Amino acid sequence: MDNVETYNKKKEDFTNDISNCINEQTSALLLGMKLMNLEELKEKPKNNKEENKTIEITVNVNEDSEDFKKAYYELERYMMNSCKSLKDKMAVNDKQSSKSMSNNKLANEYYSKAIDETEKENYKKAIEYYEKALKEDPSFVFAWDNLGLNYRRLNNFDKAIECYEKSLKIDPTGQMPLQNIAVAYQYKKEFQKSIDAYKRLSALDRNNPEIYYGIGMIYTYSLIDYELALENICKAYNLYVELKSPYRTDAEKVIGAIYSEMKKQGKEKKFKQILKDNNINPE
């Protein structure tokens, strides 16, 4: 996983590389799962006498088979819970446009120092360096994006939104600031503004699963409308699967949480119907 490159790559490209990485190990896991259940394959000896028996184990390495998918998803869940390298790569969003970086040498030096301070979690110091970089080059989009991110980490959500909006004035196609505006409004508990920001993002890329996952999370945990929540999370789940994104596991967990709540409300039938409408097997 450490060898998967993310710099200046579309997310769907490096998530495909991540999927291939998991794929390569899935056959081994599938065999291991079969061997762990070896005792179940043995027949009880007749007359309590031990018998030497040959047991055939079949491993289906067809990627479309149910056995392979089960093992792949099992490994994917484990990696998302346990692998820091995978988590870090999935959090990356540094696809460049022509306006992302700066040609100003001093601005880039301040930007590099800000990145170093951010990695040390010295967010206030990082902000100082980002602001110095932007003083040298006010059109430095990544500096605006990261400045907003550091303000968000310090719970200064208004300043974070201000930075993201300035980034969007320079590059209106920036998906990272739009997504972070939506998140910042969630922290401010201004949920309709957050949904509106996700809809702005949808106008740029309606196949971005983060749109539907974000809206689904708002309806699940804040606005408490489980049917609307499930509709959106199902869309996110299917898009994650299509993109071979490990974030599928996060959507899976939310679907489970929604099921628990809808079951309490006596809406299991409705839950299953929504999953069926989205071509998701409720089992």
Whether 282 maps to a domain, the answer reads: no
**pLDDT, position 49:** 55
Is 206 found in the same domain as 231?
A: yes
What's the rounded Cα separation, in Å, for the pair 220 and 231? 11
Residue 2 has phi, psi (to 5 degrees) of -60, -25
The residue out of 64, 91, 118 marking a domain boundary is 91
Is 143 found in the same domain as 42?
A: no
The residue out of 66, 91, 116 marking a domain boundary is 91
Instruction: Show the domain range for 28.
Output: 11-91
Tally of domains in the chain: 2
**pLDDT, position 90:** 65
Helix residue ranges per DSSP H, 100-247 = 105-119, 123-136, 141-153, 157-170, 175-187, 191-204, 209-221, 226-243
**pLDDT, position 128:** 97
Is 206 found in the same domain as 151?
A: yes
pTM for this entry: 0.75
Is 133 found in the same domain as 45?
A: no
What's the token pair of residue 145?
């994006």
Is 260 found in the same domain as 133?
A: yes
Whether 86 maps to a domain, the answer reads: yes
Whether 40 maps to a domain, the answer reads: yes
pLDDT < 70 positions in the chain: 6-12, 37-57, 59, 87-99
**pLDDT, position 53:** 63
Is 124 found in the same domain as 67?
A: no
What's the rounded Cα separation, in Å, for the pair 251 and 200? 22
What's the rounded Cα separation, in Å, for the pair 89 and 7? 10
